[in-house]
Amino acid sequence: MTRLRCAILDDYQRVALTMADWPSLDSAVEVTPLHDRLATEEDAVAALERCGIVVAMRERTAFPASLLARLPRLRLLVTTGMRNAAIDVRAAAARGITVCGTASRSEPPAELTWALILALARHLVPEHLAFRAGGPWQSTVGSDLQGRRLGLLGLGKIGQRVARVGLAFEMDVVAWSQNLTREGAAAAGVRLAASKAELLETSDIVSIHLVLSSRTRGLLRRQDLMRMRQTAYLINTSRGPIVDEGALIEALEAGWIAGAGLDVFDQEPVPLDSPLRSLPNVLGTPHLGYVSHANYQGYYRQALEDIHAYLAGAPIRVIDR
């Protein structure tokens, strides 16, 4: 019996094989983790053309119709979460490729959001670097959170978790999204902002918690960033393209806002010559929001469950649209 080949994409930390019982696939499947990003479609074809199963990490590798057509052996594509805008699900179905997802059981981006907020507000990175280098003992004055306004763009599962922490810090928490109602905001213990403009103009911290879609792509443009307070911070742990990156760089360079905490970007990894890598008022992390032990363990275990179910002829967690 010829073994199916399974590639696990983007295992940057080289931990995928430790997170689930892959040997349980026994002799049916040969599992190979790939540690480097597949930057182009040609890279993907070269790496995956002999694979019958691919386990994809988030939306990092796109699977448009053009790539799927060049992977004739692919029969099962597993992705984290139950939606992935980078996969052409319709094209996959047309080629007989089953797409399955995983059900999220933790929301680590909410925790990273607060790491970024607190680090910016209390200038932890420059103070830590000064501490290590024997620099000045106290050179900054931190910003208080108590009594300040936290504006949330999006109040889904992650946004609600962020809101609860803001309320615990005794912040004034407001939220806005295109579908959010007054009742929905009140159920989360926060107030519905009258408009996106009001949220931007009155918040001391603006944090984004929206799914990237045609409606949210470019939601914050130049004119929106100009509405924000000069003392405000922008936090984005959702998706880079929700914010116009060129306008954000302009806002940070010109001092329209105090700074930004960014975990997501238009292009990942961020080009080495990007101003976002050198601006002093940017706290950047390499898309770590979902990178936690519990999240990885849940993702890889469920991916393995998806593979077992598919091999048994009864696929689970199928994504069909």
Residues with a catalytic annotation lie at 239, 268, 287
The token pair that represents 35 in the structure block: 């540690």
Beta bridge partners of 282: 260
Beta bridge partners of 8: 33, 55
**For the purposes of burial, counting CB atoms within 10 Å of the CB of 27, is it exposed (0-12), middle (13-18) or buried (19 or more)?**
exposed
Q: In terms of Cα–Cα distance, which of 234, 241, 236 is closest to 281? A: 234
Distances (CA, A) of 37 to 30, 178, 237: 20, 34, 20
Measured CA to CA, the distance from residue 164 to residue 190 in angstroms comes to 9
Q: Residue type for 180, please? A: L
Q: Using an 8 Å Cβ cutoff, are 238 and 262 in contact?
A: no
Measured CA to CA, the distance from residue 105 to residue 221 in angstroms comes to 33
Beta bridge partners of 99: 77
Measured CA to CA, the distance from residue 10 to residue 61 in angstroms comes to 9
